[in-house]
Amino acid sequence: MGKFLLVPLMAVALFGADGATLYKKCAGCHGPHGEKKALGKSAIIKDMSKEEIYKALLEYKAGKRNVAGMGPLMKGQVANMSDEELKAIAEYIGK
C-alpha cells in the first residue's frame, strides 16, 4: 500500500503542485478568477497578493483564522492540503 501512495507524492515532489487544478475546488465559491466574495462574505481574493493568500490559507488550515465566520468552512477545505499545494494555489490566483 505504501508504494501506491509513494508514486503520487513523488509526482508532486518532482513536478510541483498544480495551482490551476487545485484551485478548481475553490472556484465554486470564489469564482473562476477569484473575483467573487465567497458566500457573499469573504474578501475578493484576486485582489490579494500571493503572500497574503498563502498566509491566510495556512492560518485557516491551523484553525487560527475566522474572517466573517468562514474559519470552520475554510479549515475543512484546506485541512488535507500540503503547504506546497496551498502555495501553488496562492501562486496561481494571487497578484
Looking at residue 66, its pLDDT comes to 96
Please report the pLDDT score of residue 44 as a whole number. 95
CB atoms within 10 A of CB 53: 23
pLDDT digits 0-9 by tens, 71-80: 999 999 999 9
- What DSSP element (H or E) covers 5? helix 2-15
Backbone Cα Rg of the chain: 14
Q: Of the CATH numbers 1.10.760.10, 3.40.109.10, 3.40.190.10, 3.30.70.100, which one belongs to the domain with range 17-93?
A: 1.10.760.10
pLDDT of residue 3: 52
Write b or e for each residue in 8-43: b if 16 or more Cβ atoms lie within 10 A of its Cβ, otherwise e.
eeeeeeeeebebeebbeebeebbbeebebebeeebb
pLDDT for position 7: 47
Q: The whole model's pTM is what? A: 0.82
Q: Give me the residues of the chain with pLDDT under 50, please.
A: 1, 5-7, 9-13
Q: What does the pLDDT read at residue 16?
A: 80
